[in-house]
Structure 1
Amino acid sequence: MSDAIIPALPRPAPPRRLGHAGFWLAAAAAAAILILALRGMGSEYAYFAATFVLQYVVLATAWNILGGYAGYVNFGAAAFFAAGAYTTVAVGKAFGLGLLPCIGIAAMVGGALGLGTGILTLRLRGAYFAIATLCLSVVLQTFIVNWSYVGGSRGAYILRPRDVPFGFDSYGGYLCAVVLVLAAAAIAIARSIEVSRLGLGLAALRDDEAAAEAAGVPTLRLKLIATSISGAMMAVAGAPLPYLGSYIEPTSAFGLSYAVNAIAMPLIGGTASWAGPLIGAVLLSSLQQAATVTISSAANLLIVGVVLVVFVCVAPRGIIGLFRRRR
């Protein structure tokens, strides 16, 4: 039969996605509902708990850009997180700047640190790259412990400003609103990357780096871009930390919980979508916060381990993958 008489098959319709306008409207509505609910509670602890959860949303989303989209597992999330926190301490002490300028400077520091990590680990893949990022965390913690300007091993106190910005009933509410904006920005960046050519290149890098290089994908450039963006966002997640507890010291800033949660939250939610880290961060950090109040903060890593084992066995592709498989 001639090919000329074979009717052309219709192309399948592309999956419907939430448009940019719809996404921002939904995000704004969710943010407004959250702020109104927290103001209705009138509790400083409610602001603290919400800020705690939102910080992990930013951290998990940032980790997923390199670990989920590109497939490079980063064990040094705590290093970037602490770099952002200590940038706030150092810049605030040196120049007397407030929270917002410190967040911008922390993003630049984290991006530079991520770029340097990418350059130094160009030839490393798999477990070797993961070990290199873990070594970065150890080296940076040793540097901070011996840096007396930011408190060294004793830690440093950060006093919150007495003047509350207009429209907020307390500084805790203002801090929660700032971190909420950071979380929305992180999700928007991850969503934009996922549907862009950069996201397609990172997916090719994750599936088979050698085949991607043979096909002409600029794997080196994509790796450097991913490490820079991920590092900047993780540093931004840690920048508000000194104002959250008014005290910071190396052991807590470089805590194992940040590194473990940054990996576990995207895995539980699903690494193939921007929504996965959001779901995993809200679920896991809420459980940890509830356990801290009712049981003990020492149970946090136990909860992470149990939930992670359950999801690896039941839903190895996370909650998003579980629902997609059922559909």
Structure 2
Amino acid sequence: MTAAGANPTVSGVDSTGPAIETHGLTKNFKARVAVSGVDLTVPRACAFGFLGPNGAGKTTLIRTILGLTSATSGTAQLLGHPMPRERTAALLRVGAIVEEPRFYPHLTGRENLQVVAAAREPESSVRIGPALARVGLAARADERVGAYSMGMRQRLGVARCLIADPLLLILDEPMNGLDPAGIQEFREMVAALVGEGRTVFLSSHLLDEVEKTCEMVAIIDQGRILTQGSVADIAGAGRRVVRLRCGAPAAAAIALKDHPSVQSVHQEEGVLEVTLSTTAGAETDEAVADVVRRLVAGGVQVYGVEGQRVSLEQRFLELTSRFETSA
């Protein structure tokens, strides 16, 4: 996949309002609630990650937003168009992969895109070549899709989205089957698409890749949105962990047992892992300084202090585990 290619800028961009917006969106399957009262806002021109455990409601929410299944209650808008009432107008500028992309295996990659383009505006056919080049399939475009690997079919799915010249791409697990080089190329392509003013809504279980690819994220579990916002803010809201190298870890653990900012202390191979109950910034800095002061005052030599970075994956596990416990 290449950053250059199909469309250097988005034509006819209407940048007013969110790309996706839902209020109280609910989808029930008889007695089972698959999506429950979801309020979701996806800004324009950003890469937005959508995360959740298996069965959390990710694909059901995507299908409901796209009008592929009807909502039980609540509202949804795509590019300012109420769904499903203005579905046709909205989907003219939306490209979507829902679950694994399907193609005619006896046709080539190019021929599959030609079938799709024939049902769209005439300009779609002109975009086929650039779209194939952009996803790195130009050299394999005239081979039958039946011989494609899973990663190649994923690339072809993205190319199929691009022939619509989309303002919004909704991609469900698009990195499945991609090798490390392919994932890096995909990440670069998403950045280029966002740079053109497009919005990429990316549902994935690859949390590390979402953290590297997306600026914003929402986490869903059991059909409910647990949190949404910038990746930095959500990861930064997680637990604060400091690793201390000290001369007497056992004595240090006892000394910190009743510290007001210390949530827990774990000792491993001469290193003390201290989990703080503070929020980010100055409060955490002051707590770390006070922890060190208390240890030194108690006669414990401190050789090193290292803050442990909280990843999106750690924050995801904290949120979903806590939700599971309280449910």
Relative to the length of structure 2, the TM-score reads 0.24
- Looking at both structures, which has the greater relative contact order when contacts are Cα pairs under 8 Å and sequence separation is at least 6? 1
> Rg bigger for which structure?
2
Relative to the length of structure 1, the TM-score reads 0.24
- Higher helix residue share: 1
